[in-house]
A and B are shown apart, each in its own frame.
Chain A
Amino acid sequence: MSYPANLIRWGLTGLAVVATAAAAQAQQPAAAPTVKLGIVSFLTGPAASPFGIPGRNGAEIVIEALNSGKAPAPFNKTGFGGSKIEAKYVDEAGSAANVVTEFRNLVQRDQMDAVIGYVSSGNCLAVTPIAEELKALTVFYDCGTPRIFEEKARSYVFRVSPHATMDNVAAARYLLAKKKNLTSYSGINQNYAWGQDSWRDFVGAMKVLAPKVTVDKVLFPKLFAGEYGAEVSTLLTSKSQALHTSFYDGDLESFIYQEQARGLDKRMTMIMTTGETAIWRLRDKLPEGTIIGARGANGPLARDTEINRWFQKIYSDRYNTPPTYPAYQMAQSLLGLKLAYEKAQKDNAKPTRDEIATGFKGLEFVGPAGEVKMVLGDGHQGVTETAYGTYHFNQRTKQPEIVDIIRYPAECVNPPPGVEADKWIAEGMKGAKC
């Protein structure tokens, strides 16, 4: 065969292949549009290890499960309403201005359908007005400040995880339930919004529940101070029987190493409102008998349900460590958004942001950490039950345990709808149903 004939033959064959492929493609149904989610969390810096990375890992593992349609009912529809989830992970580190810029990039440049994230309360407060301005559906997963929904009504911002007031009210209730003869306590908290608010709520609740118990030492070392020698001495020379702290990560661990070397935990009971994030790392170094919180019924404080066992398994199998509370908060946030999306969805079409927001408002569902009711902040802020327990390191199994658990219903430790958290505490926690 001549060269031109060969050329024609190969050309025709190529055209036939292309045409066949095009026809085959045309016969397939149109692929469902993906749902683009921005996941923002600390991936670097001191808050990465205790909060940011577990939160990111929680997102990764849940998104994978949802995309493969392997999550348990009612979360077993593939992705969000049949559309696969496409996640973009962004570091929360940097100034608030930088965090806002990154948020704008996610919404305006990357055209994300929703953003889930933020550990720092400062960042949540900075992002909120921008989210409202851009009408960007935003779900905060970890930050605890109650101010987000108390300052102003929100349309596009949601938070499935309860706010921080619950942690300290429940801590006070647990301490008084377990230490009947308490006469005096102290506090050591970081000197910024988180530490100040935590102490304010704890002291407020203690004044309501046990007005005769006195406050002894009030310490506010700077964030990431690292050296706590003087603080430990101050506490050693006090008459306190209990110590409240909302320390986390490096500050919590440094404080524990330094106080253990000097036997402070032998003199007073420690109440660690975020202590659960450290139990798998500190293990037998965490003082026996410490009162442990997990910012809700998360981790070892979560109820033994099918969905909790599922989440614990997929997380532990992938990361070789049990999920801590930031991972739970992320999972709850994703699952809440998924249900809101599917509630808003009509005829398998992609719902608008407004439709999803309407679906999210007042949502109720059960996730790995239990039942969530979006009842505060005009249906934008969730409440859940919470739990506290006492730390015990099991020398036989060589595993941390939280024992002597007391559960508190959401209505017992959260303000009623329409009431600001600090006013609710100051006015005697009226309406609490325990």
Chain B
Amino acid sequence: MSGGLTSPLPPTRQVTGSIVLTAFAILTDGLVYAAYLFIVAIGMTLIFGVMKILNVAHGSFYAFGAYGAAMAVGICSNYGLPTAIGFLFMILVAVAIGVVLGIVLERGILRLVYGKDEVIIVLITYAVFLILEDVITLIWGPRSYAAYEPMIAAGNIEIGDLVLSNYDIILVAIAAGLAAFAYWSLKFTRYGRLLTTVIFDRETAAAFGINVTLVYTVTFIIGAMLGALGGAVMAPKISVTLGIGVEVIVLAFAVVAIGGMGSIEGALTGALIVGICRAAAVHLVPQIELFVIYGVMALVLVIRPYGLFVRAQPRKI
């Protein structure tokens, strides 16, 4: 036995204003978790909305984005570049990875199976997901990677007894920016209107002369980019390790199902509902934290089987 290095015990703190503080903590934690969910779900719901493909490989886009981000942050750190440069570089790397994966998968595999049964396409994306998991092992090996520098460098702010990470605030801002950009793009740009037409009815859109195949390709690439971007912005918060894509698919699916498959405003609402409910559960009844996400999903689907924001389907004769 050796001795002498006993560190002083942190003193017992008097936690004041606990109800207000807890409510504030639930709100902030809920927003941060909702931001995370929305960022990972937006690409998945976009692809489903346009292409009617439940893309299981979305988890791989997230994982590739996270690995790419960790690599980018590592390179910048090795060259002694500022953390802000590292952050921008990791975004660029993730976007590039998303573009490459999107093109390869859509042009190389999915275009060959358009028109097949939706279940078959889900199985194909699941197969792609499994293959990409192995590709990750081949490229980066089985070890974990860290990209925490941007989060540590962002610092924190203290509000009462609560300390908030500035990086979390940035994450909420990114999610809000993505939501606003998606809304503006769909409502006020030419491509957005074309997309809305294809979402509404593919055959009618084609009959009006819209190049549906091109819309599919572009949408899938954007979806893949968003998936990879989700992984990249989360990489500083997590240990980038094998299997991170699996968790994301399940969560993203829950959010998309609550909001309505293919609805971006639905994904935002679903993310907020799940985020706040989960944060409240962790603070107030931690035993039901696991149950809450899927409990909310089940409740919503019982009341509205197609989700909160599903659009009316045109009747076809």
**Distance between A315 CB and nearest chain B CB, rounded to angstroms:** 16
Which residue of chain B lies nearest to A53 when distances are taken between CB atoms in the complex?
Answer: B142
Which of A184, A237, A260, A404 meets B2, CB within 8 Å? A404
Contacting pair B1 A48 (CB below 8 A): no
- Cα(A226)–Cα(B286), bound, Å: 16
User: Is B238 among interface residues, defined by CB-CB distance under 8 A?
Assistant: yes
Contacting pair B161 A236 (CB below 8 A): yes
Contacting pair A217 B5 (CB below 8 A): no
Contacts of A237 in B (CB 8 A): 15, 18, 21-22, 25, 161-162
Contacts of B234 in A (CB 8 A): 226-227
User: Is B187 among interface residues, defined by CB-CB distance under 8 A?
Assistant: no
**Distance between B179 CB and nearest chain A CB, rounded to angstroms:** 19
Contacting pair A404 B4 (CB below 8 A): yes
Contacting pair A46 B10 (CB below 8 A): no
Contacts of A432 in B (CB 8 A): none
- Cα(A179)–Cα(B29), bound, Å: 31
Contacting pair A254 B152 (CB below 8 A): no
Contacting pair A250 B244 (CB below 8 A): yes
User: Is A230 among interface residues, defined by CB-CB distance under 8 A?
Assistant: yes
Contacts of A260 in B (CB 8 A): 148, 152
- Cα(A392)–Cα(B6), bound, Å: 12
User: Is A267 among interface residues, defined by CB-CB distance under 8 A?
Assistant: yes
| Interface 0/1 of B12-42, CB less than 8 Å to A | 1111001001100110111011001000000
- Among B32, B134, B279, B286: residue with most chain A CB under 10 A: B286
Contacting pair B162 A236 (CB below 8 A): yes
Contacts of A236 in B (CB 8 A): 25, 161-163
Contacting pair A258 B237 (CB below 8 A): yes
> Given contacts A237-B21, A269-B9, is CB(A263)–CB(B144) below 8 Å?
no
Contacting pair B9 A254 (CB below 8 A): no
Contacting pair A183 B12 (CB below 8 A): yes
User: Is B124 among interface residues, defined by CB-CB distance under 8 A?
Assistant: no
Which of B36, B146, B283 meets A234, CB within 8 Å? B283
Interface 9-residue window, one of B43-51, B96-104, B164-172: B164-172
**Distance between A172 CB and nearest chain B CB, rounded to angstroms:** 15
> Given contacts A44-B137, A218-B286, is CB(A257)–CB(B242) below 8 Å?
no
Which residue of chain B lies nearest to A191 when distances are taken between CB atoms in the complex?
Answer: B290
Contacting pair A234 B238 (CB below 8 A): no
Q: Which chain A residues numbered 225 to 254 have a C-beta less than 8 Å away from chain B? A: 225-227, 229-231, 233-234, 236-239, 241-242, 249-254
Contacting pair B279 A230 (CB below 8 A): yes
**Distance between A237 CB and nearest chain B CB, rounded to angstroms:** 5
- Cα(A258)–Cα(B28), bound, Å: 15
Contacting pair B287 A269 (CB below 8 A): no
Contacting pair B143 A49 (CB below 8 A): yes
| Interface 0/1 of A25-62, CB less than 8 Å to B | 00000000000000000011110111011000000000
**Distance between A369 CB and nearest chain B CB, rounded to angstroms:** 18
> Given contacts A229-B168, A234-B25, A281-B146, is CB(A182)–CB(B161) below 8 Å?
no
> Given contacts A254-B239, A269-B7, A403-B5, is CB(A261)–CB(B152) below 8 Å?
yes
User: Is B68 among interface residues, defined by CB-CB distance under 8 A?
Assistant: no
- Cα(A43)–Cα(B244), bound, Å: 16
Which of A46, A231, A285 meets B241, CB within 8 Å? A46
Contacts of B133 in A (CB 8 A): 44
- Cα(A251)–Cα(B33), bound, Å: 16
User: Is B305 among interface residues, defined by CB-CB distance under 8 A?
Assistant: no
Contacting pair B2 A403 (CB below 8 A): yes
> Given contacts A226-B238, A233-B25, A262-B156, is CB(A45)–CB(B164) below 8 Å?
no
Which of A254, A282, A392 meets B5, CB within 8 Å? A392
- Cα(A252)–Cα(B146), bound, Å: 12
- Cα(A407)–Cα(B1), bound, Å: 6
Contacting pair A285 B239 (CB below 8 A): no
> Given contacts A231-B282, A267-B13, is CB(A261)–CB(B151) below 8 Å?
yes
User: Is B278 among interface residues, defined by CB-CB distance under 8 A?
Assistant: yes
**Distance between A251 CB and nearest chain B CB, rounded to angstroms:** 8
User: Is B174 among interface residues, defined by CB-CB distance under 8 A?
Assistant: no
Contacting pair B12 A239 (CB below 8 A): yes
Contacting pair B283 A233 (CB below 8 A): yes
- Cα(A65)–Cα(B49), bound, Å: 59
Contacting pair A257 B238 (CB below 8 A): yes
Contacting pair A224 B247 (CB below 8 A): yes
User: Is A362 among interface residues, defined by CB-CB distance under 8 A?
Assistant: no
Contacts of B289 in A (CB 8 A): 219-222
Contacting pair B239 A249 (CB below 8 A): yes
- Cα(A184)–Cα(B13), bound, Å: 11
**Distance between A370 CB and nearest chain B CB, rounded to angstroms:** 15
- Cα(A254)–Cα(B246), bound, Å: 16
User: Is B3 among interface residues, defined by CB-CB distance under 8 A?
Assistant: yes
**Distance between B159 CB and nearest chain A CB, rounded to angstroms:** 10
User: Is A181 among interface residues, defined by CB-CB distance under 8 A?
Assistant: yes
> Given contacts A217-B286, A234-B25, is CB(A226)–CB(B244) below 8 Å?
yes
Contacts of A52 in B (CB 8 A): 142
Given contacts A49-B144, A182-B9, A254-B239, 4 further A-B contacts (CB under 8 A): A233-B279, A234-B282, A252-B239, A404-B4
20 contacts between A and B (CB under 8 A): A44-B134, A46-B241, A49-B241, A179-B9, A181-B9, A218-B286, A220-B286, A222-B289, A226-B238, A230-B33, A234-B286, A236-B163, A241-B11, A253-B146, A254-B239, A257-B148, A258-B237, A260-B148, A261-B156, A390-B5
Q: Give 4 closest A-B pairs by Cβ, nearest first.
A: A253-B239, A230-B282, A230-B29, A250-B239
